[in-house]
Amino acid sequence: MRPATSLNIVTDPAADAAEGPNLALAPKPGVLPKAILAPAQAAEVPARRVAAWLRSALPKLLMTTLSLGMFIAFWYFATKYKLDFYIRFNNIPSPGEVWENAAYLAQSDKFYNNMYVSLRRILIGFGIATVLGVALGLLIGQYRLARGLLFPLFETLRPIPAIAWVPMAIMLWPTNETSIVFITFLGSFFPILLNTIHGVNSVDPVLLRAARCLGTSEFGLLRQVVLPASLPHIFTGLAIGMGVAWVSLIAAEMISGQFGIGYFTWEAYSLIEYADIAIGMIVIGVLGLLCSGAIRILGNMLMPWMAGSQHGGQK
Amino acid sequence: MMSPTDDTPSATGHILIDHLRVRFGSKAAAVEAVSDVSMEVKPGEFVSIIGPSGCGKSTLLNVVAGFVQPSEGTVSMDGKPTDKPSADRGMVFQQYSLFPWLTVRKNVEFGLKQKGLDANHREEAARTLLGLAGLLAFENHYPDQLSGGMKQRVGIVRALATSPQVLLMDEPFGALDAQTRVVMQQILTNMWQRFRISVLFITHDIDESIFLSDRVYVMTARPGMIKAEIPIPLPRPRTPDMALSPEYLQIKQQLRELITEESLKAMGGELKDSGLAGFDIEVGPKGVAELV
Ligand SMILES: Nc1ncnc2c1ncn2[C@@H]1O[C@H](COP(=O)(O)OP(=O)(O)OP(=O)(O)O)[C@@H](O)[C@H]1O
Ligand SMILES: [Mg+2]
């Protein structure tokens, strides 16, 4: 007869250790999580770690420089020799011209004002989309009544791209400003809403049951369990929403704007200030990048427990 | 072992299950999961339920917890029906159920927060309990940084934090390796004796049920009924070497036979369902014991 497992184990030192509470309760070295060991190691060899980091980062840095350098070199020669092979570089500003104009614009209050106006539109539109998207997403995900009443409406509106709303928005809202903010809001609202709903739906039911057993009220459940459990999905929605918000904003500014970096870029075309087009594009890219970075930083701050897993995901 | 409360069992935490039936699904296609079960957990008692897979053990526990409503019969604690979950019935799950976004200490504080306890008292209570479970050094860790055994220990501490009258445990150590299991059983026994609350414990493991319990209920294959009620009169504190004593071995043999019979019934049903009925496996009681 094969002896049952526990019979074997009663002669095991681990079981003996269990007799003295202190020994039994002390964690075994084998199960010590990595995170506890890491800080000690970091303090031990800071210099070596910096060197190791440099060694691993240097090739990447070189390749990045090379990659961008090749692009700028091509740009430089294509504009210098006015390359014309189906795509035409006749009117394209050279890197030098762009640099000169940029130096000039860096002194211009009007240019900064355009950046400020665009950022403000993003903040307001995206901010409202975040509040509404997360709140409605939680309700729709959690309550059948909210899902029944709201979801069909949103499913109907969702396939309409935010840009398609431009003429309607201009008629709908009293000022140009509000209609542009509305377009920005629309663009980011749906990704945030849908990801929040998805987050709520993928909350581990055992967590809800555990919370109920600990005396949590219905509302407490939403705020203390469903919301934090959905945060990773919500932040996925925010990251996507931020991207779409910029797409929608720039398009709206180009079509109906006064002020704003999208308007600046389009105006540069009308005014034959071709170098400014490139500057507008670059600034749009950089601002978008900064906004996405801000979302990521905020996510890391609000979800410290995800620190380990996000590292794995960045590779 | 320090257990000054040995002779003064608490008067609360009395669970009465009376002719309980639970059916799932609509009338025509209803599945009976629990069939006419009557049982009881006396105040301060440690009772285990053991039975083949799918016999309705979790369903039974979920009725006591208040997640599932009885189709017939009643389930009550201290005279009140257990019709919805409450903090006076703590639950420990087989799956890890710690809130991953909260540190170990905040997990333990969670139930106290629902009670409206202020932050200082919460922290004090949580740290005391974590100290008892040997987890104080990990109070600021997130669950993902803990081993499986530690997670379950935190789960037990979290359930105990609200001072429930009864602890409901659904195969809490099922996912742990054998060594960790034995240590966890010791810790659970310590905690139970210290808090003197009733425990209703579900397990697949015969040794676990004997080592922990005052009484063991054996359930039949689905639909689950109580097949036998086996008292475990072994003295406490129980030590691992008791597993070699004649009383222990006799109880174990008895439980093993009861359970093997039901497991074979449960599997026999599955074998027939999958068209293997033609294979008539003759297994006598002794041969069956070999299999387990
Ligand atoms: N919500 C449900 N709806 C329908 N059937 C269910 C539901 N919950 C459980 N069942 C069925 O009831 C029976 C008993 O399930 P239960 O989970 O209680 O068994 P168990 O004894 O805990 O099994 P295990 O040992 O595998 O955990 C099973 O046949 C299961 O399929
Ligand atoms: Mg079960």
Q: How many structural domains is chain B composed of?
A: 2
Do B121 and B214 lie in a common domain? no
Do A279 and A133 lie in a common domain? yes
Question: Can you give the pLDDT at residue A213?
Answer: 95
Q: Decide if A29 is inside a domain.
A: no
Which of A2, A6, A16 to probe the B interface (max B CBs under 10 A)? A6
- Summarised one tens digit per residue, pLDDT across range A67-84 is 999 999 999 999 999 988
Q: Decide if A132 is inside a domain.
A: yes
Between the alpha carbon of residue B67 and those of residues B35, B42, B58, the distances in Å are 18, 22, 11
Using the predicted structure, report yes or no on whether residue B56 has a pLDDT greater than 70.
Answer: yes
User: What average pLDDT does range B70-92 have in this prediction?
Assistant: 94
Q: Decide if A243 is inside a domain.
A: yes
- Summarised one tens digit per residue, pLDDT across range B177-223 is 988 899 999 999 988 998 889 999 999 899 999 999 999 999 998 88
Q: Is the ipTM of this complex over 0.90?
A: no
Say if ligand 1 is within 6 A of residue B153 CB: no
Place B273 in a pLDDT band, splitting at 50, 70 and 90. Answer: low
Provide the token pair at A279.
């500057």
Establish if B82 touches chain A: CB-CB under 8 angstroms: no
- Summarised one tens digit per residue, pLDDT across range B211-255 is 999 999 999 988 889 999 999 999 988 988 888 999 999 999 999
Return the percentage of chain A with pLDDT > 70, whole number.
83
- Which of helix, strand or coil describes residue A68? helix
Residues whose CB is less than 8 angstroms from the CB of residue B282 and which lie 6 or more positions away in sequence, other chains included? none
Do A270 and A186 lie in a common domain? yes
Identify the CATH number of the domain in which residue B53 sits.
3.40.50.300
Question: Can you give the pLDDT at residue B203?
Answer: 93
Q: How many structural domains is chain A composed of?
A: 2
CA B110, B111, B117, B123 dihedral sign is negative
Query: Which of B163, B180, B209 finishes a domain?
Result: B163
Distance from C-alpha of B208 to C-alpha of B50, rounded to nearest angstrom? 10
Distance from C-alpha of B110 to C-alpha of A214, rounded to nearest angstrom? 7
Q: Decide if B267 is inside a domain.
A: no
Q: Decide if A269 is inside a domain.
A: yes
Q: Decide if B36 is inside a domain.
A: yes
Mean pLDDT score across all residues of chain A: 85
Do A214 and A263 lie in a common domain? yes
**How much is the CA Rg of chain A, to the nearest whole Å?**
28
User: What average pLDDT does range A193-216 have in this prediction?
Assistant: 96
Question: Can you give the pLDDT at residue A218?
Answer: 85
Question: Can you give the pLDDT at residue A310?
Answer: 46
Do A140 and A238 lie in a common domain? yes
Between the alpha carbon of residue B57 and those of residues B34, B48, B61, the distances in Å are 8, 10, 6
Establish if B2 touches chain A: CB-CB under 8 angstroms: no
Say if ligand 1 is within 6 A of residue B24 CB: yes
Provide the token pair at A125.
């539109």
Provide the token pair at B216.
């063991």
Do A221 and A286 lie in a common domain? yes
- Residue in B22, B37, B55 to alter for ligand 1 test, most ligand atoms within 8 A of Cβ: B55
Q: Decide if A44 is inside a domain.
A: no
Do A90 and A180 lie in a common domain? no
- Summarised one tens digit per residue, pLDDT across range A42-60 is 455 678 888 888 888 888 9
What are the strands, taking DSSP E only, across chain B? 15-24, 31-41, 46-50, 72-77, 80-81, 89-92, 166-170, 198-203, 215-219, 226-231
* Residue-number span of the structural domain to which A71 is assigned: 66-98
DSSP B144: G
Q: Give me the helix-helix angle, A109-142 and A227-256, nearest 10°.
A: 140
Between the alpha carbon of residue B81 and those of residues A290, B163, B171, B226, B253, the distances in Å are 57, 19, 24, 21, 36
Do A93 and A220 lie in a common domain? no
| Cβ B12 vs Cβ B78: under 8 Å | yes
Using the predicted structure, report yes or no on whether residue A141 has a pLDDT greater than 50.
Answer: yes
Whether residue B223 has a cis bond before it, omega within 30° of 0: yes
Do A88 and A149 lie in a common domain? no
Do B108 and B245 lie in a common domain? no
Distance from C-alpha of B72 to C-alpha of B21, rounded to nearest angstrom? 5
* Residue-number span of the structural domain to which B115 is assigned: 98-163
User: What average pLDDT does range B53-57 have in this prediction?
Assistant: 90
Provide the token pair at A64.
């990045």
Place A179 in a pLDDT band, splitting at 50, 70 and 90. Answer: very high
Percent helix, strand, coil in chain A, to 5, is 80, 0, 15
- Quick one: which ligand is closest to B71's CA? 1
Question: Can you give the pLDDT at residue B136?
Answer: 94
Place A219 in a pLDDT band, splitting at 50, 70 and 90. Answer: confident
Do A120 and A267 lie in a common domain? yes
Provide the token pair at A180.
């542009």
Matching residue, tokens 């860096």: A106
Place A5 in a pLDDT band, splitting at 50, 70 and 90. Answer: very low
Return the percentage of chain B with pLDDT > 70, whole number.
88
Using the predicted structure, report yes or no on whether residue A174 has a pLDDT greater than 60.
Answer: yes
| Cβ A115 vs Cβ A283: under 8 Å | yes
Do B173 and B59 lie in a common domain? yes
Do B172 and B69 lie in a common domain? yes
Q: Decide if A125 is inside a domain.
A: yes
- At B112, the amino acid letter reads L
Q: Decide if B128 is inside a domain.
A: yes
- Summarised one tens digit per residue, pLDDT across range A248-286 is 999 999 998 789 999 999 999 999 999 999 999 999 999
Question: Can you give the pLDDT at residue A308?
Answer: 65
Do A120 and A268 lie in a common domain? yes
A-chain CB neighbours of B252 within 8 Å are: 4
Using the predicted structure, report yes or no on whether residue B272 has a pLDDT greater than 90.
Answer: no
Do A94 and A112 lie in a common domain? no
Distance from C-alpha of A169 to C-alpha of A163, rounded to nearest angstrom? 10
Of B93, B207, B241, the CB nearest to A6: B207
Do A154 and A250 lie in a common domain? yes
Do B180 and B51 lie in a common domain? yes
Q: Give me the helix-helix angle, B119-132 and B104-114, nearest 10°.
A: 130
Question: Can you give the pLDDT at residue A35?
Answer: 42
Element (H, E) at B57: helix B57-65
Calculate how far, in angstroms, residue B57's C-alpha sits from the geometric centre of ligand 2.
Answer: 6
| Cβ B68 vs Cβ B33: under 8 Å | no
| Long-range own/partner contacts, residues A286-289 (CB < 8 A, 24 or more apart) | A287/A115, A287/A118, A287/A119, A287/A246, A287/A261, A288/A242, A288/A243, A288/A246
- Summarised one tens digit per residue, pLDDT across range B121-141 is 999 999 999 998 889 999 999
Place B271 in a pLDDT band, splitting at 50, 70 and 90. Answer: low
